[in-house]
Each structure stands twice: as structure tokens, then as C-alpha cells.
Amino acid sequence: MTEKLDLRGEVCPYTFVKTKLRLEELEGGQDLIILLDDPAATANVSRSLRSEGHEILDLKALSDEVWQIVVKK
Amino acid sequence: MTAPTPSVDHAALKSGGIIMQKDDDFFAIRLRLPGGCIASDLLPKIDEVARKYGRGEVRLTARQGIEIPWIKFGEIEAARKNLAEAGLALGPCGPRFRTVTACPGLPVCRRALADSQSFAHRIDRKFGGLQLPHKFKATVSACPNACSRPLENEIGFCGNAEPLLYADACMGCGLCVDICREKALVLQDGKPLLDRNQCVHCADCMQSCPTDAWKTEKKGYAVYAGGKNGRHPAPGEKIADFVDEEQGMMIIARCLDFYRQHGNKRERLYDLICRVGMDEFKAAVLQ
């Protein structure tokens, strides 16, 4: 099952910290959907995920105010 | 009976770093700390000198330096020697090339595009303290956010990078378009299109791209000249783009030659450029 993490309303660096904590709970190979409301936070989180070796499966704007990252642990 | 005249190294006094306070029995000593960076194990030495010769007080300057106030005239030399033994030199003041400032840069700052600290140290080693018609300030910022204020210095460097899209690697998410603060990008046929006239070369698009589709076409430093602050502030003007450190050092050297040759005593570089014209200045400095 794909886990979901809603980070709308959160700011850096909590977006990254909460993503990291949630990923720690997941098994390797599991997917996580992350929702954010800010492009800069989206860029920061995706950059951090990649530098930690996770794979970004998809990244897109769902609307003017919502960005979604799909990451594989 | 008069007190013996204290021994003073006049050459050292002249080179700057010793500033007379309002009460002329007291002096502040300015340290030379390029980029505002100091090894933390030297802080106890500053503390020791401040308590022994001053009043246990240090001050952070507007140009990232440290000054120790309340040093008595007769103890300047002892305080200076004490600091010198620990490797702490005095920072230039007066009509000289001032200590070079810098932002944190790489590898500390997430936005940085250059190692501004190492370039600032290199500039300071070569030009710091040189005697000139008037004060001369230089700084290095590692990206166009310009945190160390390159437009308010006689010479200011600003790290930059020009992006180039590798469309095959782009998945068309549009994150770079939303990230770009200059509105230099629009999505066209599902891919970002760059307006080079709007781009300020900050590399936010490159750093935001989840698939590394933006590559660096060229990078280096933008160079600004003739800026100043103070009672008549004026921003510097961009005179070169994407220069490397070698070219930057050459530009400074030529700028100083020009300033020494044409500048009047107590004339800032800005005023010299106004007097002779930017075209002549650029012709001499960029050749």
C-alpha cells in the first residue's frame, strides 16, 4: 500500500524532517506520496530525497497550490 | 617625572588597524578576518587580549571584522604583538584595500554556486592593505542573491551560472517554472522555455530539477565596479560576466592600476568613474 504524507502548511526544514521520519518507518522498495503547498519546499525535499539515495518516481503540480512527489524508498 | 615614551612600531601603526577613539587616549584594534571567518580556537586569544589590554569587550564591525576597543596608547604594541603571535593580523583602515568580505558560499550554503570564501581569501592575500587614493572595498558573493552586497563595494563578485535545458531528460513537471523568481521560464509544449533577457543566472532551475535536465552552460562570477555605501550610496555597475578567478584577479589588478594612475587623493572609485566615464574605465580594466 502506498503511504501518504500531507505536508501542506509545513515550512522548511520541517518538511524535510517529517519526510525523513516517515521514510524511516517504511520498508525498502515502498512508495510514499508527499503533498506540499510550495514549489521551493517541493524542490528542497526532492533534492534532499535524491541526495539520500531515494528514487523520485513522479513529481507534479496537482493544482496551483498543491505539489505532489512520489518517492520510492 | 614624565612617563617613558612607549615603544611603537610606526610601520605597523601606519599600515592601519589601529583606530583612535573619541577619547584620544584610547584606541580600537581591528583584526583582519577575510570573509568574516576565524578559527574558533583563536577566540580565547581575542578574549585574553580584550580583557588584558581593553575592557573585556569586542565589537563586530559592519564588514565582518572584530575590533577590540579601549586599548591605551602605550599598550597598543603589546596587544598587537600578542595577537600576531597567535597569527591574528590587523585589518587595514584608511586609504587602503580593505579586508575582503564574503558570504558563506560553498560548501556551506545550499544556494551557493561558488567557493566565495576561498576566492575572498585569495583576493585579500594579494591586494589586502595596498595603499590607494581612498578606501577600496571588495567582496565575493557565491550567487546572485548577493548576500555580501557586491553592488555596494568598489569591486563586487557574484557567482552565477547560465542554464541549458537537455529536453530529453525533462519530464515536464514545471517545478522550475514555478521556482523561477524572475519569471524567465514558461512551459511550452510541456517543456520549459527560457527567456535569457529575464534570467539572472541564479541556477534555481538547475537546483530544483528532479531529473537534472538543466545543465550548466557556463559559470563564473559577474563583476560589479564602482559601488559604495555611506553618506552618498551608489550601486556598482556590472562590467563583466562569467569570469573565472584568474580573470577576476586580473580585473582587480587593472582596476587598481587605473585607480592609482587617475584617481585623486580621497576620490572614491565611483567618483573617478563618474569623472572619466565608464567607457574609459571599462576599456582600461577589461582590455
Q: Which residue ranges make up each domain of chain A?
A: 3-72
- The DSSP line for A6-63 is E-TT--TTHHHHHHHHHHHHSPTT-EEEEEES-HHHHHHHHHHHHHTT-EEEEEEESS
User: Which CATH superfamily does the domain covering A3-72 fall into?
Assistant: TusA-like domain (3.30.110.40)
B213, B174 Cβ separation under 8 angstroms? no
Q: What is the pLDDT of residue B11?
A: 59
Q: Cβ neighbours of residue B61 under 8 Å, at least 6 residues apart?
A: B30, B67
CB contact under 8 A, A43 and B171: no
B205, B176 Cβ separation under 8 angstroms? yes
Closest chain B residue to the Cα of A65, Cα to Cα: B178
Q: Determine how many CB atoms are found less than 10 A away from the CB of residue B261.
A: 9
Q: What is the pLDDT of residue B3?
A: 52
ipTM field: 0.84
Q: Respond yes or no: is residue A12 known to be catalytic.
A: yes
Q: What is the pLDDT of residue B14?
A: 61
CATH of domain B101-162+215-286: 3.30.413.10
Q: Which three cell numbers stand for residue B21?
A: 577613539
Burial of B215 (0-12, 13-18, 19+ CB in 10 A): middle
Q: DSSP character for B250?
A: H
Q: Which residues of B touch A59 (CB under 8 A)?
A: 171, 173, 175, 210
CB contact under 8 A, A61 and B208: no
Per-residue pLDDT of chain B (287 residues; tens, 9 = 90+): 455 555 555 555 666 799 999 998 999 999 999 999 999 999 999 999 999 999 999 999 999 999 999 999 999 999 999 999 999 999 999 999 999 999 999 999 999 999 999 999 999 999 999 999 999 999 999 999 999 999 999 999 999 999 999 999 999 999 999 999 999 999 999 999 999 999 999 999 999 999 999 999 999 999 999 999 999 999 999 999 999 999 999 999 999 999 999 999 999 999 999 999 999 999 999 98
User: Where does chain B hold its CATH 3.30.70.3340 domain(s)?
Assistant: 14-85
User: Where does chain B hold its CATH 3.30.413.10 domain(s)?
Assistant: 101-162+215-286
Q: What is the pLDDT of residue B13?
A: 63
d(Cα B163, Cα B189) in Å, to the nearest integer? 19
Per-residue pLDDT of chain A (73 residues; tens, 9 = 90+): 789 999 999 988 899 999 999 999 999 999 999 999 999 999 999 999 999 999 999 999 999 899 999 999 9
Q: Which fold has domain B14-85?
A: Alpha-Beta Plaits (3.30.70)
Q: What is the pLDDT of residue B104?
A: 98
**Among residues 12-71 of chain A, which lie with CB inside 8 Å of chain B?**
39-40, 42-44, 46-47, 50, 56, 59-61, 67, 69
Q: Which three cell numbers stand for residue A21?
A: 521520519
Q: Determine how many CB atoms are found less than 10 A away from the CB of residue A22.
A: 16
Which parts of B92-167 fold into alpha helices (H)? 116-127
Compute the nearest-CA separation of B148 from chain A (Å): 23
Instruction: Strands of B131-194 (E only): list them.
Output: 138-141, 155-165, 185-188, 191-194
3-state secondary structure B69-81: EEEEHHHHHHHHH
B272, B227 Cβ separation under 8 angstroms? no
